[in-house]
Amino acid sequence: DQQVKQNSPSLSVQEGRISILNCDYTNSMFDYFLWYKKYPAEGPTFLISISSIKDKNEDGRFTVFLNKSAKHLSLHIVPSQPGDSAVYFCAAKYSGGGADGLTFGKGTHLIIQP
């Protein structure tokens, strides 16, 4: 039973446009969410995170939105650049109670078209 779902295995966006990657979760105990970016043959690289006490966090071209009632988060990249082509993983955790591991979605492959 997948607790974190990324329903789009791939997404193609034109350079300069906005990329929107979506993620849904089912476990209401999750209170901290992260996005990781992964290039082939490399480990996931931390991109941006958000705590459940917020509904938005912004870092340069990257913004993460959290809708707790819908158990949904999204990552916006604007403007999209060729170097953004990678697999993006959504991850979630419960920050209390010693449950420190991350639960990952299966990833969305973002392709930025020139």
Partner 1 sequence: DAGVIQSPRHEVTEMGQEVTLRCKPISGHDYLFWYRQTMMRGLELLIYFNNNVPIDDSGMPEDRFSAKMPNASFSTLKIQPSEPRDSAVYFCASSRDGRYTQYFGPGTRLTVL
Backbone angles phi, psi at 82, to 5 degrees: -55, -35
26 forms part of the interface with partner 1 (CB under 8 A): no
CA distances from 52 to 27, 30, 68 (A): 13, 8, 7
Token pair listed for 6: 């990324």
Q: Which of 78, 102, 109, 111 binds partner 1 (CB under 8 A)?
A: 102
Q: If binding is defined by CB under 8 A, does position 107 make contact with partner 1?
A: yes
The answer to the question of residue 49 lying near partner 1 (CB under 8 A) is: yes
Closest separation in Å from C-beta 59 to partner 1: 13
97's CB contacts (< 8 A; 6+ apart) are none
State the residues that interact with partner 1 by CB under 8 A. Answer: 32, 34, 36, 41-46, 49, 89, 93, 95-96, 98-107
